[in-house]
Structure 1
């Protein structure tokens, strides 16, 4: 029987700052934004990454989106890029990068994924950056290593791993992680988290209030924020999935994605050993 995702298994490995910790020691997270009319998803992911403890968060955007993003960001930093190579250069100092939320189903996004795969940053691949590779999943897998995390919902999973869901969600997630060589978070009412080394858990505290646009972008940012703090990728995915659901439970009816980052401090406070 697949174990249940329980804080007992990862709580002791959550990254907490010490008295002498500075922002760079807490990790640097990059988030790739979409174009001028598609900046909200990136902002949600960036704020979630900052709230979960990354010391520095920077949004990377196409030049046309910079004037849209600049007035909306405060603690989150901003830089624009005009090519995949320029994005890779900007991302080089980052410990983790989130790409996919509203990134666009274009060859430019595919080039951006490939360039980020060469930086050494731990990647969270979500949304458009998953669907884009539906007919060529091997191209995506070639960009990945064991520190990276894929976060598909059922439809995205089926596009990348056609037929695997017929084996059941747990077996499918485990098989996908082995095939991709990365951690897979198969989202749903009982999210399954699987690692390529065979570790696999089912999340048991899922909330129906997460069925709202943008909640997945927040989850991607939460995972990215923990990866930036050098938490093990499987543990980071398990912790973020549980905390994401716990935040939704705390809010209840009426939840929208913008509420979720503001609920993270309360969830972290419950887990803080001090």
Structure 2
């Protein structure tokens, strides 16, 4: 049975923080950044991961953009990451428990970094360039993904990775069911959780668990149609993974929070507003 995503007591409890816990008790997320002039998307994701409650968040930037990132960051930490060998070195630290790759990463850097990240067997969100980099060889990606991974494609990225499944999507009264079926098939093929973004977001795990989040009707959030909103969603999910939620629960809770923040802010929303609205969402739901 497909789960209809809504606020529950369990979700509220998963977002609360114990007063006795220290920062490492809430995980350390690592967000990989692209080159010079391409770091904004990673900053959006990192800020969202921090706002959703990750204890620490670090951006890993190439040398060419290190000082650019340094000028923009305060609460989010920064480390240099010149190559995939260095990433494997960073992952020797077990406290780095969640990774985000894709937003603003650049396809060439993504093709190098994704295998190293997946080698680390951490909870990992792959989005944007981390997906598009493998459009010509998706099986090469799927042989490396594992059950701690969450893929967060929009429809265009889904078509690139799963062209045959995209062809099965209906545009009539069966559209919702066909999207759920395609997302479930994609999750089985990739061996990880898949979140297919849209006004009706579908989420599936390799073992057949499915969920649906509807941002339509009274819960519509049209202001999310803005550059960078998807990067924020990736960061929210990464932060929840760092806090210890399962990939499926992180995706479900992240989808709900993403829309709730947009609805709380309202018209005029830009991506930077989403992480800054999360504290009000938490207050509103009693976290």
TM-score (norm 1): 0.95
The whole-number CA distance in structure 2 between the counterparts of 1:12 and 1:162 is 37
Tell me whether 1:181 sits opposite 2:195 in the alignment. Answer: no
Report what 2:260 is aligned to. Answer: 246
Contact 2:121 2:148 in 1 (8 A): no
Report what 1:210 is aligned to. Answer: 224
Report what 2:173 is aligned to. Answer: none
Report what 1:28 is aligned to. Answer: 28
Contact 1:96 1:228 in 2 (8 A): yes
How many residue pairs were aligned? 272
Contact 1:3 1:201 in 2 (8 A): yes
The whole-number CA distance in structure 1 between the counterparts of 2:152 and 2:79 is 25
Contact 2:179 2:202 in 1 (8 A): yes
Report what 2:243 is aligned to. Answer: 229
The whole-number CA distance in structure 2 between the counterparts of 1:9 and 1:173 is 27
| Alignment RMSD (CA, Å) | 1.5
Where does the alignment leave 5 or more consecutive residues of structure 1 unmatched?
A: none
Report what 2:57 is aligned to. Answer: 57
Report what 2:97 is aligned to. Answer: 95
Partner SS, residue 107 of structure 2? coil
Deviation (angstroms), 1:19? 2.2
Where does the alignment leave 5 or more consecutive residues of structure 2 unmatched?
A: 170-177
The whole-number CA distance in structure 1 between the counterparts of 2:243 and 2:144 is 22
The whole-number CA distance in structure 1 between the counterparts of 2:2 and 2:221 is 20
Contact 1:30 1:91 in 2 (8 A): no
Report what 2:203 is aligned to. Answer: 193
Tell me whether 1:220 sits opposite 2:234 in the alignment. Answer: yes
Deviation (angstroms), 1:202? 1.1
In the TM superposition, what whole-angstrom CA distance separates every residue of 1:148-178 from its partner, at most 9, and x where no partner exists? 1000000000100012131421111010011
Deviation (angstroms), 1:81? 1.4
Contact 1:34 1:102 in 2 (8 A): yes
What is the 5 A alignment of 1:1-80?
A: 2-8=2-8, 10-11=10-11, 14-80=14-80
Contact 2:12 2:285 in 1 (8 A): no
Deviation (angstroms), 1:10? 4.7
The whole-number CA distance in structure 1 between the counterparts of 2:143 and 2:9 is 30
The whole-number CA distance in structure 1 between the counterparts of 2:18 and 2:278 is 19
Contact 1:15 1:231 in 2 (8 A): no
TM-score (norm 2): 0.91
Partner SS, residue 279 of structure 2? helix
In the TM superposition, what whole-angstrom CA distance separates every residue of 1:232-258 from its partner, at most 9, and x where no partner exists? 110110000011001101111110000
